[in-house]
């Protein structure tokens, strides 16, 4: 913290070597570490300076995914960090408690850079979330869980990022599943409520998550906020870029051992060993957050975003990403509906920078909106031919020249032009 009260985070973007497999060092990229980067713990209202120094031998950018910040602090392809340079994202944290993350957004390089290990979590707390008495002892009962999958070269000394055209379309889903950069790690849990902050940090895998013993859990938060009330579930689907905070009550599971499993690919992410000594009683509140009411009378404009493909290039509204073109100009403070339609048979999702939205309809009906997607979100998952209506509002930061992005967060799709740009004026 400097004399002006600004919290500085010095983050070195490095080449590194990480031990995924016993005794073998794999070449990676990382942020002040050997794979991935540190979790940044922020509080609403903090003045921060995230100082990223590029020690790679290529350009990079660093985007705060889910962060509500001015366009020139967003770390998009327009804020490149030259080799050897430092770029600082400076802003006042201006949003409610949630689990965000940071990752490169380098033009034509995002999936490559994320694959090498450039990503980290950003946890935001606020007075309301602290007053709720949720599990919040970082690393003890409040656990960041970055879920990814990777291919390695045969000798395991490098990560193998070489998707075929088919894998670019259908997903580049590795055969090794990793959690916080470790292969099937074990978490030694206290026998009490544990909060897991799950991030699908994969390039293009949809994860269908559950515990191997069928244990139910409660989702308490989505991408950009706590939910109004906990949602009880036994399985959770997360598409690339999405986050979910879940609480699992282990107070009656002393001595038990089970795994966090991924059912689509039948892989284990991690083992949870529960302590033999029960420690505490359950306290999860029934009301978590108050969200603004959905008021459609405020809507001034509807925009359509059709996800498709032309000549083997992914498109939004028939257009491939162009860094020099502004696709949409959105008035500051207006309430809009963005209708996103997946025209294709394959999965996509849709991410909007700078803001959070509410999902108000899925496939033509409010009744189809999933219970656990009713908070504020910034990524929404669309299976083949699905459509969603989003209530969108851009607030606080206008900039007529520097754009934000919207895109599919399947990174192979994003990198193959399924992305557009908008300014807020």
Under the rule (CB under 6 A), what is the footprint of ligand C2O?
A: 63, 65, 103, 105, 241, 351, 353, 405, 407, 409
Rounded to 5 degrees, what are φ and ψ at 198? -90, 130
Counting Cβ atoms within 10 Å, is residue 300 exposed (0-12), middle (13-18) or buried (19+)? exposed
Nearer to ligand C2O, 353 or 358 (CB): 353
* Closest residue to ligand C2O: CB criterion: 65
Q: Which does 389 bind (CB under 5 to 8 A by kind): Cu ion, ligand C2O, none?
A: none
> In terms of CB distance, is 351 or 362 closer to ligand C2O?
351
Q: Tell me the closest approach of the beta carbon of residue 95 to ligand C2O, in angstroms.
A: 16
Q: Which does 52 bind (CB under 5 to 8 A by kind): ligand C2O, Cu ion, none?
A: none
Burial per residue of 353-376, b for 16 or more beta-carbon CB atoms within 10 angstroms, e otherwise: bbbbbbbbbbeeeeeebeebbbbb
- H/E segment holding residue 170: helix 165-170
By a kind-dependent CB cut-off of 5 to 8 A, residue 241 interacts, out of ligand C2O, Cu ion, none, with ligand C2O
**Angstrom distance (rounded) from CA 279 to CA 281:** 7
Residues that bind Cu ion (CB under 5 A): 65, 348, 353, 408, 410, 413
Nearer to ligand C2O, 218 or 409 (CB): 409
Q: Identify which of residues 68 and 351 has a Cβ nearer to ligand C2O in the complex.
A: 351
Residue 407 interacts with, from ligand C2O, Cu ion, none (CB under 5-8 Å by kind) = ligand C2O
Label residues 33-48 b or e (16+ Cβ within 10 Å = b): bbbbbebbebbbebeb
Print burial letters for 302-330: b (CB count within 10 Å at least 16), e (below 16): ebebbbbbeeeebbbeebbbeeeeebbeb
User: Which CB atom, from 218 or from 413, has the smaller least distance to ligand C2O?
Assistant: 413
Whole-number minimum distance, CB 106 to ligand C2O, in Å?
11
Beta strands in 44-172 (DSSP E): 47-54, 63-65, 86-92, 98-103, 120-125, 142-150
Q: Pick what 150 binds: ligand C2O, Cu ion, none; C-beta below 5 to 8 Å, kind-dependent.
A: none
Q: Who contacts 100 (Cβ-Cβ below 8 Å, separation ≥6)?
A: 64, 65, 66, 67, 121, 122, 123, 124, 223, 224, 243
Name the minimum Å distance from CB 136 to ligand C2O. Answer: 25
How many C-beta atoms surround the C-beta of residue 12 within 10 A? Answer: 16
To ligand C2O, the closest distance from the beta carbon of 323 in angstroms equals 14
Nearer to ligand C2O, 197 or 218 (CB): 197
Pairing of strands 257-262, 243-249: unpaired
Q: How far is the CB of 404 from ligand C2O (least distance, A)?
A: 8
Q: How far is the CB of 374 from Cu ion (least distance, A)?
A: 21
Nearer to ligand C2O, 26 or 100 (CB): 100
Looking up tokens 């990079």 gives 60
Report what 105 binds from ligand C2O, Cu ion, none; CB cut-off 5-8 Å by kind: ligand C2O
Q: How far apart are CA 230 and CA 384, in angstroms?
A: 28
**Which residue lies nearer to ligand C2O by CB, 218 or 351?**
351
Q: How far is the CB of 341 from Cu ion (least distance, A)?
A: 13
Q: Among Cu ion, ligand C2O, none, what binds residue 375 when CB lies within 5 to 8 Å by partner kind?
A: none
């Amino acid at each position: 913290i400097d004399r002006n009260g600004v919290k500085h985070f010095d983050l070195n973007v490095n080449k590194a070597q990480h031990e995924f497999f016993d005794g073998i060092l794999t070449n990676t990229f990382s942020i002040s570490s050997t794979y991935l980067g540190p979790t940044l713990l922020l509080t609403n209202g903090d003045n921060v300076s995230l100082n990223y120094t590029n020690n790679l031998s290529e350009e990079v950018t660093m985007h705060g995914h889910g962060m509500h910040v001015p366009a020139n602090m967003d770390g998009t392809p327009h804020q490149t960090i030259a080799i050897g340079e430092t770029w600082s994202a400076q802003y006042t944290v201006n949003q409610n408690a949630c689990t965000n993350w940071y990752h490169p957004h380098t033009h034509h390089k995002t999936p490559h850079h994320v694959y090498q290990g450039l990503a980290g979590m950003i946890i935001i707390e606020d007075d309301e979330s602290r007053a709720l008495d949720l599990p919040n002892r970082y690393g003890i009962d409040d656990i960041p869980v970055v879920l990814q999958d990777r291919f390695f070269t045969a000798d395991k000394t490098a990560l193998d990022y070489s998707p075929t055209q088919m894998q670019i379309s259908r997903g580049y889903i590795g055969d090794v599943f990793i959690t916080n950069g470790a292969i099937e790690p074990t978490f030694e849990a206290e026998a009490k409520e544990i909060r897991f902050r799950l991030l699908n940090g994969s390039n293009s895998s949809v994860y269908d998550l559950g515990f191997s013993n069928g244990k139910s859990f409660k989702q308490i938060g989505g991408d950009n906020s706590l939910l109004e009330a906990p949602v009880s579930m036994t399985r959770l689907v997360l598409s690339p870029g999405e986050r979910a905070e879940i609480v699992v009550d282990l107070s009656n599971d002393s001595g038990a051992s089970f795994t966090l499993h991924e059912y689509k690919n039948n892989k284990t992410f991690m083992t949870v060993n529960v302590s033999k000594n029960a420690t505490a009683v359950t306290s999860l509140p029934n009301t978590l957050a108050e969200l603004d009411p959905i008021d459609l009378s405020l809507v001034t404009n509807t925009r359509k975003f059709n996800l498709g493909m032309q000549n083997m290039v992914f498109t939004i509204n028939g257009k491939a990403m162009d860094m020099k073109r502004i696709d949409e100009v959105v008035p500051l403070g207006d309430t809009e509906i963005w209708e996103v339609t997946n025209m294709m048979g394959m999965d996509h999702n849709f991410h909007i920078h700078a803001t959070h939205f509410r999902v108000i309809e899925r496939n033509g009906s409010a009744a189809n909106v999933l219970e656990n997607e009713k908070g504020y979100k910034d990524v929404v998952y669309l299976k083949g031919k699905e459509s969603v209506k989003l209530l969108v509002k851009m607030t606080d930061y206008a900039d007529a020249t520097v754009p934000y992005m919207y895109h599919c967060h399947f990174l192979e799709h994003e990198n193959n032009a399924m992305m557009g740009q908008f300014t807020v004026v």
